[in-house]
Amino acid sequence: MAHIPVLLNETLEYLNADKGGKFVDGTVGGGGHLRAILSRNKSNEVLGIDLDQASLRKLEAELTAGGLSQKTKLVSGNYANIDQILQQVGWDQVDGILLDLGFSSLQLEDSSRGFSFATDGPLDMRYDRSQTASAESVVNQYSPKDLEDIIENYGEERLNGRIAAAIVAARKEKRITTTSQLVEIIKSAVPSSIRFKANDNIRRVFQAIRIEVNRELENLKSALPKMVSALAPRGRLVIISFHSLEDRIVKEFFVSEAKDCICPVEFPTCVCGKTSTVRILTRKVIKATDLETEANPRSKPAKLRALEKN
């Protein structure tokens, strides 16, 4: 199934895509959002970035066939390096930046990528297939303590200790190389009384390993200030996140950027000298409508936050 872009109208509205300008799609994937941005105004140009070389090759061919390559630049890279990438393509400040985090349906449905626990495949989970760290190296090489911490911190999984111990015991017998091996190991660590809902545990552990393999939270944290710097005055930043760990990082960054002073409350006067650089546009987080979640269940956990540079 093709990747359906989530919160599409909301994204275009918050990006101010009707106005015409230069936009960055930091997670361009199948190009759903990119195409919609281009169609909003004839003068729009989009720089699309993705770590996944295969997705970019496919998109490039489609954009060329559709006569859209003149208005787009595609770069294989990490959105966390947006400053260097903008320099590389000769763009200075931009009018809007979008991040639609996580993985695409194309990646999930390709069992050779190892993102899905529903189909058997190699334990991979890399967006960037040229990097060495993969789910296989995390599962087979990390210390028991590191596995426990990752499963707790990135998967918010409370059976982290049992699951880490089961992984360590299994890998002593035989290297863990496939998603189905990992699924069985996780299942075996879930007490039999609650094993009927082990898919929840499996989903959380897969999420944790994927976040670790791709350094997802580190990338997001380091990208946000660079993205605000890259915006022109009145430029917009729109972030769509899919789990609470990402959303918390976005929310805390937005709140702190919008504040005039970040001195501890007990300080009688401001010593930090910080002034607000942005205005938050989404006082309440934006979620998909019932209509959208029915048509595209992937949109259900999506949360959109947007800001405007002063």
Q: Which residues bind ligand SAM (CB under 6 A)?
A: 3, 5, 26-27, 29-33, 49-52, 55, 78-80, 100, 102-104, 127, 214, 219
**CA-based nearest residue to 305, from 253, 255, 242, 238:** 238
Q: Whole-number minimum distance, CB 23 to ligand SAM, in Å?
A: 12
- The rounded distance, in Å, linking the Cα atoms of 240 and 219 is 15
- The rounded distance, in Å, linking the Cα atoms of 166 and 182 is 10
Residue 146, annotated as binding a ligand: no
CB burial of residue 1 (10 Å; 0-12, 13-18, 19+): exposed
Q: How many CB atoms lie within 10 A of CB 133?
A: 15
CB burial of residue 157 (10 Å; 0-12, 13-18, 19+): buried
CB–CB of 55/29 below 8 Å?
Answer: yes
Q: Whole-number minimum distance, CB 22 to ligand SAM, in Å?
A: 18
- The rounded distance, in Å, linking the Cα atoms of 50 and 41 is 23
CB–CB of 202/162 below 8 Å?
Answer: no
CB–CB of 167/147 below 8 Å?
Answer: yes
Q: Whole-number minimum distance, CB 103 to ligand SAM, in Å?
A: 6
Nearer Cβ to ligand SAM, position 168 or 285?
285
Q: Whole-number minimum distance, CB 241 to ligand SAM, in Å?
A: 10
Distance of CA 177 to the CA centre of its chain: 25
Residue 260, annotated as binding a ligand: no
Element (H, E) at 309: strand 303-309
Read off the tokens for 243. 């789990």
Q: Whole-number minimum distance, CB 99 to ligand SAM, in Å?
A: 8
Q: Whole-number minimum distance, CB 206 to ligand SAM, in Å?
A: 15
Q: What angle do CA 57, 101, 21 make, to 5 degrees?
A: 70
Nearer Cβ to ligand SAM, position 28 or 228?
28
Nearer Cβ to ligand SAM, position 101 or 176?
101
Strand partners, 239: 99, 305
Residue 33, annotated as binding a ligand: yes
CB–CB of 137/147 below 8 Å?
Answer: no
Nearer Cβ to ligand SAM, position 218 or 252?
218
Nearer Cβ to ligand SAM, position 37 or 278?
37
Residue 83, annotated as binding a ligand: no
Nearer Cβ to ligand SAM, position 218 or 294?
218
Residue 107, annotated as binding a ligand: yes
CA torsion sign for 235, 252, 246, 88 is: positive
Residue 14, annotated as binding a ligand: no
Residue 131, annotated as binding a ligand: no
- The rounded distance, in Å, linking the Cα atoms of 271 and 227 is 26
Q: Whole-number minimum distance, CB 52 to ligand SAM, in Å?
A: 4
Nearer Cβ to ligand SAM, position 104 or 207?
104
Which residues are annotated binding-site positions for S-adenosyl-L-methionine?
31-33, 50, 79, 100, 107
